[in-house]
Amino acid sequence: MNGLLAQVLVLSLTAMFNPSLLAALTVMMLLPSPKRLMLGYLLGAYLTSITLGLVIVFSLGSSASSTAKNTISPTEDIIVGVIVLVVAVVLATGRDAGFQERRRTKKEAKLKAREEAGKPTESLPLRLLGKGDPKVTFAVGVVLSFPGASYLTALDKIAKDKPGTTQTVLLVVTFCLIQLLLLEVPLLGYVFAPDETAGRVAAFRSWMGRKGRTVAVLGAFLIGGWLVLKGLINVS
């Protein structure tokens, strides 16, 4: 159980740095009544992430996968771990620079074309957030909080480990709480210390802009190394 909890915690930390959540949080911080907007988004995110997480994990757990757990799972862990380590090396050495530049150029060209055509350049969720309505942020939170890769990986591990109903629910809820910390912490801060929180959030966004790649590299190395090590241990 301790090993499973550690894996869930690591995966939840990687899921925490969600570009969609960061973008939505930034927009909400700039609008009037950010506390109400953030609360609406948070409730919508809870509804989707916890509900779908429980449905998925219990659906996975109900399937007969004991053989796969003993034979396929270690191989999967090693393969995924190696892929994640390769990604970490690529990010650390800057070998993705060419891809990033091509992606940036393509994105800028697309935005310019939309501007010239008189079309909005922001995504629909961000445009909806700009309306400043908590009901809208609730709906956006629902839409943008479907389980991602890290969450699905964690759910698969929970289902295969079969820790019991109560422990499964607690693990799913814990994952959801941690992956939404970037929203929960400033929301609490706006309630108890609004002025200080505004400055700290701005400083944090600036730090992430400078250190985001370092955080991603470190997280990828930790997750990849853990998966490879776990796979090798289970194989032996």
1 or 103, greater pLDDT = 103
Residue carrying structure tokens 């700039």: 30
pLDDT in tens, 164-197: 889 999 999 999 999 999 889 888 887 888 888 7
Burial of 190 (0-12, 13-18, 19+ CB in 10 A): buried
- Over the range 63-76, which residues count as b (16 or more CB within 10 Å of their CB) and which as e? eebeeeeeeebbee
* Whole-number pLDDT of residue 69: 42
pLDDT in tens, 2-55: 678 888 888 888 888 777 787 777 777 767 677 888 899 999 999 999 999 999
**What backbone phi and psi angles, to 5 degrees, belong to 164?**
115, 160
Tell me how far apart the alpha carbons of residues 10 and 1 are, in angstroms, rounded to a whole number.
14
pLDDT in tens, 130-167: 556 778 788 888 888 888 888 888 888 888 888 888 99
pLDDT class of 236 with cuts at 50, 70, 90: low
Extents of the domains making up the chain: 2-235
> If you count DSSP H runs as helices and E runs as strands, how many of each does the chain have, helices first?
11, 0
Residues 6+ apart with CB under 8 A from 50: 172, 173, 176
Contact 65, 157 (CB under 8 A): no
65: pLDDT strictly greater than 50: no
Residue carrying structure tokens 């894996």: 7
Tell me how far apart the alpha carbons of residues 135 and 41 are, in angstroms, rounded to a whole number.
8
Tell me how far apart the alpha carbons of residues 177 and 16 are, in angstroms, rounded to a whole number.
9
* Whole-number pLDDT of residue 96: 63
Residues 6+ apart with CB under 8 A from 119: none
Give which of 43, 54, 49, 57 is closest to 179, Cα–Cα.
49
**What backbone phi and psi angles, to 5 degrees, belong to 34?**
-60, -30
Residues 6+ apart with CB under 8 A from 150: 11, 12, 14, 15, 179
Single-letter amino acid, residue 133: D
Tell me how far apart the alpha carbons of residues 89 and 79 are, in angstroms, rounded to a whole number.
15
Tell me how far apart the alpha carbons of residues 180 and 203 are, in angstroms, rounded to a whole number.
19
